[in-house]
Structure 1
């Protein structure tokens, strides 16, 4: 198999079991031999500017934390570049871990906060590695792979199938198991546009948590003041609040608590204590 991607880039897939990967310098002669093997044509390579190799190897650390040592990015997981998931996966690790490390260093982290990093990110890494393995399986030059590819194409052609694949590629289907009953808990917070034009994304830039109160309540505001400096309280209407009354967002943009009805002070207080300490 060989693929052409303008301008002037040729990507080749040679299923040699990784025999050549990093075992010797990539020469013009080697590239020429591989191109002839894959294409079946008498290809001549006159000049080689840049070449690299990769394999379909997919590995993941069994644990992301051992006492004071934490793994993230390529140190925690490696896989083929198919689908372009590696960078996003590493950034996701850093975003999840960063605020938890900061709280630990400040001394206001609740018990077990750092342990939640592995609990949340390890399953995400495993899903991406399986996604990468599936992409490699579809590329193999066999009749069974071509049959499977045809079925996948049919699925992508349906609304539900297209939604599923788009969500997997973009990562918007990720939901951490935080134990909440509301469907938004554990998901990335929607980028609500507030009545004054501000967006949720801009309210998270200072690295603190966020309590959005769409139906302003003095009791909820007073409760949030106990975590002043760790949680920002914002009372504002949104152009489309998706039926929500209030939502608590972690510094990494993940919904920690949400309510469609009158805010339960006990429930939101419990969530704030769980993620932001006493």
Structure 2
């Protein structure tokens, strides 16, 4: 009698697998969960890593978090009153970033690990399956799914996912395994960041400091650990992956500042540069990239984290529709079309900042000329909008109105059910059709075919809005808007089908 051999276990199945559980991956999992798609998140670290990383949320990210109830305003604020804060460009304090008080602060300090924890908690509550201590080993892409090989401790297993999103950082396994081509530029400086105790903290200059040898950025803490960053333009540059020793940071800081900088007790040491990489596309079939897996650049101005979080807001609702079978065929292609140019602009401005930071005296006239240009309000606003993300608009589809592709301001809207802000109406991540009395009955009648995925809000009269009817995407950007005769159902039906799939039959 032969022994019975059990049949091989069938691979697990998942609608979406996210490789990487940093802030971008966790936010994407939360966004999918809000839409009813429970993602599996594969994260090698067993717990959140507390290291000195990005800690600045820029205005557009604050505004997006507000629209999903990750943040709340202490008071309603106004769209006409602005709050401003100073910021740097290439180490020079020449920028002023402002935002309407109804949109929250223009800058918000938030440690990256705190964001990761908050997004993870929200993702778990929304149904995400988060597996820490697991690592993606390989991908095999098929027409109908992606086979993902995963290792946990000493065991291997497989998940068949409808879609895979690589949020696994600059050295992304997903990007390499799926064969995404990229465009790169070589580094021009080597930077060391350390969390250390300064033995003579009052002798060290705080903030940005420029000398003939380079730049330092030091957050001095006399009672504990200080963050010390050096930017060294000496060539040849060391290998990017060479380990960093405390003596490397001490020696470089002392040379740049021209004085001894004694330090000890390093809690963290790492190296970065202004090397840049931009994936040529963010999607290859059922595999997509987000965050550092898609774009890497110098961390000047805290733009990397913010760009990655905006990737997640853009992709989340689209991928949920695709995973649910409701998306029009080209919807996921708009992810690359909309988000890659944003990262391209970020890389361009970080490379510009790197050029301005070259320490030699031959670059002093360039720095002086740039500072003069930034005193022009229109120049300052344009660069501030790039850094803060408030200048981002997406291309309109077809012959769109002037509102399409723009971010819908946080209006205080009056309805029969009471006043609501745009942020409050977008908290459940459903698209909004906002109709004033001037819009008539036709748009609401047209929208009935999408009632399963669309929220229609009738506004009361007397509000100073330039449009009569407006369709807002879940990420806060305008998909369609119209005035007067433009409010007819044909263009609205085309926009609804383009962004949210065909209507339900019979409605």
TM-score scaled by length of structure 1: 0.92
Deviation (angstroms), 1:18? 4.1
What's the CA shift string for 1:71-119, capped at 9, x where partnerless? 1111111111101111111111111111111111111111211111111
Deviation (angstroms), 1:175? 1.2
Task: Provide the residue aligned with 1:23 in structure 2.
Answer: 242
Decide which of 224, 249, 252 is 2:475's aligned counterpart. Answer: 252
Task: Provide the residue aligned with 2:409 in structure 1.
Answer: 190
Distance 2:402 2:364 in 1: 37
Decide which of 197, 203, 219 is 2:425's aligned counterpart. Answer: 203
Deviation (angstroms), 1:239? 7.4
Q: 5 Å matches for 1:111-150?
A: 111-150=329-368
For the aligned residues, what is the CA RMSD? Answer: 2.0
Distance 2:462 2:292 in 1: 40
Distance 2:472 2:281 in 1: 27
Q: 5 Å matches for 1:53-68?
A: 53-68=271-286
CA contact (8 A) 2:219 2:227 kept: yes
Shift in alpha-carbon separation, 1:46–1:228, aligned structure 2, 3 A: closer
Deviation (angstroms), 1:222? 1.1
Aligned residues: 277
Does 2:227 match 1:5?
no
Task: Provide the residue aligned with 1:265 in structure 2.
Answer: 489
Task: Give 5+ residue unaligned stretches, structure 2.
Answer: 1-214, 503-507
CA contact (8 A) 2:246 2:269 kept: no
Task: Give 5+ residue unaligned stretches, structure 1.
Answer: none
Name the one with the larger strand percent: 2
Shift in alpha-carbon separation, 1:239–1:9, aligned structure 2, 3 A: farther
Does 2:445 match 1:222?
yes
CA contact (8 A) 1:185 1:256 kept: yes
SS at 1:54 equivalent: strand
What's the CA shift string for 1:195-228, capped at 9, x where partnerless? 2321112212222211111225222111111100
Shift in alpha-carbon separation, 1:144–1:247, aligned structure 2, 3 A: farther
CA contact (8 A) 2:430 2:455 kept: yes
CA contact (8 A) 2:442 2:488 kept: no
